Structures are given as C-alpha cells and as structure tokens.
Amino acid sequence: MKKVYTCFCTDVIHEGHLNIINEAKKYGEVYVGVLTDEAMIRFNRFPAVSFEERVEMVKAIEGVKEVIVQREIMYDKVIGELKPDYVIHGDNWKSGTMKAIRDNVEKLLKELGGDRQIIDVPYTYNENVKRIDAKIKEKLAMPEYRRKRLRQLLKLRPIVKTIEVHSGLTGLIAEKTVVEHNGEFDQFDAMWVSSLCDSTAKGKPDIELVDMTSRFRTIDDVMEVTTKPIIFDGDTGGLTEHFVYTVRSLERMGVSAVIIEDKTGLKKNSLFGTEVAQTQDTIENFCEKIAAGKKVQLTDDFMIVARIESLILERGMEDALERAHAYVKAGADGIMIHSRKKDPAEILEFCDKFRADNKQTPIVVVPSSFNTITEAELAEHGVNIVIYANQLTRSAFPAMEQTAKDILKYHRAHEVDSRLLPIKDIISLIEEL
Ligand code: SPV
Ligand code: MG
C-alpha cells in the first residue's frame, strides 16, 4: 500500500477536511499529522480546543490509518520518517505564506526519490466553512477565553511577543500579520495598549490625560476585530481607590493583564528619563496598590504586573531589585523592568540578579531604546514577555506626513499612489459579518 500524508491545523473537522481524506484514500493508506499547540500558534491561531481533543477528532475520521504528531510547521521530520508516496493538501498553499511549506514539501519528496508527488485538491471555502471559521474566532475573542490566554502563552512560548495597538486597524495588523522567514513562521502573540500611543493617536501628551473611559473605548475597538490577548498600560494605576475599579473593569472586558508603574503625581513618559521631574512611589504605597488590585480580582486569569522605574530614574540596581522582590511579595504576577539606555547591559544585569532569587515570576521588557538585543537573548536571561511598545505608531507617522507633503508639493495624489495600499486591499482587509 502507498502512504498518503496530510497535516491538519484545525479545531473542527468540516467538509473540506473530509474531502481531503476521501481524495487521499484513492491513493493509499492515509496518515494525518496534527500540529502541536506550539506550532499552531506560530502559523495559524490559538487553538480553540486542546491538542488531545484535536488528535481524537482526527482519529475518529473514517479511513485514517494513523495520527502523527507534527511539532514543526515544516514537514522535514515527518517526511523523513514516514517517507510518504503522496502529500495531499488544499490548493490554497500554492500562494501566500503557505507557499513556502509547499515548496519545501516538493523539495523533500524530490530528495527522497521515486514517483513521490504532491496532490493539490481544490480548497473548500464555502459559506458553511466560513461560518464555522467565524464561530471559532468569536469563541477565541470572548472575554473568558481571551483573558486566560496570556497565562497559556507564557507556558507555550519561549518569549511572548507583544505589539502596540491603539485602534481597530492596528489591532488587525497585530492579529493578522504572519511571516515566513528562512523556513520559520511567526506572528505576534499579544497586544499592548500603550498609554503613549493611545494618547499620541489622540494628539495628547502621555500624562494620564486621556481618561479611562476613552482608554477602555480603545480596548473595545481593538477587541471587536481581534482574538489575541491584551496587556493594558495602566500608567500609575492612579489612586488605589480608583485602581481597584480599573482592575474589575479590565477583567470583565477580557483583558489579560495590566501593567502599573511605581510613579506618583503627574506621570510623564519614561523615555524622558530624568529630563523631567518624576516622582517614584514608596515601596510601601506601591505594594498596597498591588495588593488592593489583587484582592478585588475575581478570576485567577488576570495578571497585575508591577513596573519598576528605578533604572529610568537612576536610583540604581539595588533599589530596582529590592522593589521587584517587594512587589512580588505584595502579589504582583509579573515584573516589568524599564530602561532608556541604548545598551541592554543594565536590563540584563537586573534579569540575571532577579532570576538568581526568583525563577518563576514573569519578567517583561520594552526594548525601545535597547533595541539591538534579540528575543532569543532576552529569553536566555529569563525574560518572558517582550513588548514592541510604539513602533507601529512611529512608522505610520512619517509615512503619513510624507504623503501629505507630496500631495501638497505636486498638487495631486498621483505621485504618492505607488506607495499606497491599493483600494481593493483596504476593502478586503476589513471582514464583513
Ligand atoms: C507606553 O508604551 O506607553 C509605555 C512604554 O509606557 S514607554 O513609552 O517606554 O514608557
Ligand atoms: Mg505608558
């Protein structure tokens, strides 16, 4: 009997999958790969059902000889071990990022020799499949599912990659951008609702001037069109008496975490450093704020992350470490350490020293200034979450400004057209219900 292999990356078996299986049966015995959670979240979206359930689901399909655990998006290992005669897949992998997978499979089959072949079957994407797909996305976006996802990702990812969002549109970029680079697939895991960018988008300074109602409105806009978890920049958290209400609201909305910084009074953006007057809170006060927030939270999912400004305010490493341990003791679910130095040395020193005494508590960093360090290097020093806090806003502004300048210069829009998103693409970017 010939061997036919296909790989499924799905939460539901629908007519499209059954069609592939039925086609496959015509060629030989059918082996089906099921992508692990780790691989699925890099390639597709967060699984709506567990890996074990997905395996059982595939096993139950009539005509499946064996289920194979596929740990990598690329098929090298499976093809090397199974040596299939055919690999069958929907023909949607002939274009887009998935084309790299098909090209690789083609190469692997050729290397194995013989008459090994790819079978492309017409991809099924009818109204019924569309409805199933939309339903899964709706489920992933529901507060009770979305809220816990950050904690789930902390277990699945070596480092949780988070990108700034401040609107539905930036949310869509965070949600949908997937790249294939040198055979590796990747996408962002989570979204950061930055106070700097939320304020900047409204033409306001980052001084806690944009009120919570407006910040929540931004979260809502993002949530309406995305499924990924949200980390909210809570600035100082305000008065403890107010912070407890913020925690309740965020938790109810389905936000996964709030990060509050240990400053008081008129907060200014940390990237000003000591160029502007900023007051750091006492350890005691800030611990009380953390503890009050933890006390009112209703689920085990939500996280309160304490952000330490000691390095920004040049108060020294010892102060930063003392605060980190105190904040964890007060109940913080994570520590964010910030720096505005170009050199990541002080951040790494903090991480190493903190990790020497605390192996568990997640560490969050925002490498806006120390941007030469890679995610892998940060992970090696015990960092769990990396936040790209402002790059979308900073890239959009010069592009928009240049377009405005050029339209003024040429008295028409023709000269800028080649750098614009085609009208048909902007229309198809937004999905209608
Ligand atoms: C933000 O994005 O608003 C932050 C990070 O708080 S930073 O701007 O670096 O302070
Ligand atoms: Mg901020």
Selected residue with higher pLDDT from 278 and 174: 174
Selected residue with higher pLDDT from 277 and 107: 107
Residue 432 has pLDDT above 80, yes or no: no
Residues 6+ apart with CB under 8 A from 257: 150, 229, 230, 231, 232, 302, 303, 304, 305, 333, 334
Instruction: Determine whether the shortest distance from the Cβ of 389 to ligand 1 is under 6 A.
Output: yes
CA-proximal residue: ligand 1, atom 10 (nearest): 270
Residue 431 is predicted with a pLDDT of 78
Q: Copy the structure tokens of residue 224.
A: 């309406």
Q: How far is the CA of 247 from the centre of ligand 2 (A)?
A: 17
Instruction: Determine whether the shortest distance from the Cβ of 387 to ligand 1 is under 6 A.
Output: no
Q: What is the distance between the alpha carbons of residues 196 and 308, in angstroms, rounded to a whole number?
A: 17
Tens-digit pLDDT profile for residues 328-366: 999 999 999 999 999 999 999 999 999 999 999 999 999
Query: How many CB atoms within 10 Å of residue 353?
Result: 15
Q: What is the distance between the alpha carbons of residues 177 and 189, in angstroms, rounded to a whole number?
A: 11
Nearest atom of ligand 1 to the alpha carbon of 235: 6
Distance of CA 288 to the CA centre of its chain: 31
CA-proximal residue: ligand 1, atom 5 (nearest): 389
Instruction: Determine whether the shortest distance from the Cβ of 278 to ligand 1 is under 6 A.
Output: no
Nearest atom of ligand 1 to the alpha carbon of 338: 9
Instruction: Determine whether the shortest distance from the Cβ of 258 to ligand 1 is under 6 A.
Output: no
* Mean pLDDT for the stretch of residues 395-401: 98
Q: How far is the CA of 389 from the centre of ligand 1 (A)?
A: 6
Note whether 99 and 93 are within 8 A (CB): yes
* Mean pLDDT for the stretch of residues 15-42: 97
Instruction: Determine whether the shortest distance from the Cβ of 198 to ligand 1 is under 6 A.
Output: no
Residue 89 is predicted with a pLDDT of 97
Tens-digit pLDDT profile for residues 233-274: 999 999 999 999 999 999 999 999 999 999 998 888 888 888
Which residue of 208, 231, 258, 271 sits with most ligand 1 atoms within 8 Å of its CB, as the best mutation to test the pocket?
Answer: 271
Residue 430 is predicted with a pLDDT of 81
Domain annotation for the chain: domains and CATH numbers: 3-132 (3.40.50.620), 142-389 (3.20.20.60), 395-431 (no CATH)
Residue 417 has pLDDT above 80, yes or no: yes
Q: How far is the CA of 368 from the centre of ligand 1 (A)?
A: 9
Which residue of 268, 276, 390 sits with most ligand 1 atoms within 8 Å of its CB, as the best mutation to test the pocket?
Answer: 390
Nearest atom of ligand 1 to the alpha carbon of 195: 3
Q: What is the distance between the alpha carbons of residues 220 and 166, in angstroms, rounded to a whole number?
A: 10
Instruction: Determine whether the shortest distance from the Cβ of 368 to ligand 1 is under 6 A.
Output: yes
Residue 227 has pLDDT above 90, yes or no: yes
3-state secondary structure of 58: helix
Is 85 annotated as catalytic?
no
Instruction: Determine whether the shortest distance from the Cβ of 393 to ligand 1 is under 6 A.
Output: no
Question: Confidence class of residue 378 from pLDDT cuts 50, 70 and 90?
Answer: very high
Tens-digit pLDDT profile for residues 268-325: 888 888 888 889 999 999 999 999 999 999 999 999 999 999 999 999 999 999 999 9
Residues 6+ apart with CB under 8 A from 243: 234, 237, 260, 289, 292, 293
Nearest atom of ligand 1 to the alpha carbon of 206: 3
Q: How far is the CA of 161 from the centre of ligand 1 (A)?
A: 16
Share of the chain above pLDDT 90, in %: 93
Q: How far is the CA of 380 from the centre of ligand 2 (A)?
A: 26
Nearest ligand, CA 200: 1
Which residue of 196, 271, 275, 276 sits with most ligand 1 atoms within 8 Å of its CB, as the best mutation to test the pocket?
Answer: 196
Residue 3 has pLDDT above 70, yes or no: yes
Query: Integer distance in angstroms from the first to the last C-alpha of the chain?
Result: 46
Q: What is the distance between the alpha carbons of residues 3 and 287, in angstroms, rounded to a whole number?
A: 61
The DSSP-derived string for 295-308 is: HH--SSS-EEEEEE
Nearest ligand, CA 391: 1
Tens-digit pLDDT profile for residues 51-60: 999 999 999 9
Question: Confidence class of residue 433 from pLDDT cuts 50, 70 and 90?
Answer: low
Share of the chain above pLDDT 70, in %: 100
Q: How far is the CA of 224 from the centre of ligand 2 (A)?
A: 23
Work out the mean pLDDT of the chain and round it to a whole number.
96
Nearest ligand, CA 197: 1
- Measured in degrees and rounded to the nearest 5, phi and psi for residue 299 equal -110, 170
Q: What is the distance between the alpha carbons of residues 398 and 97, in angstroms, rounded to a whole number?
A: 28
Q: How far is the CA of 281 from the centre of ligand 1 (A)?
A: 18
Note whether 335 and 306 are within 8 A (CB): yes
Nearest ligand, CA 192: 1
**Which is the catalytic residue, given 206, 281, 301, 333?**
206
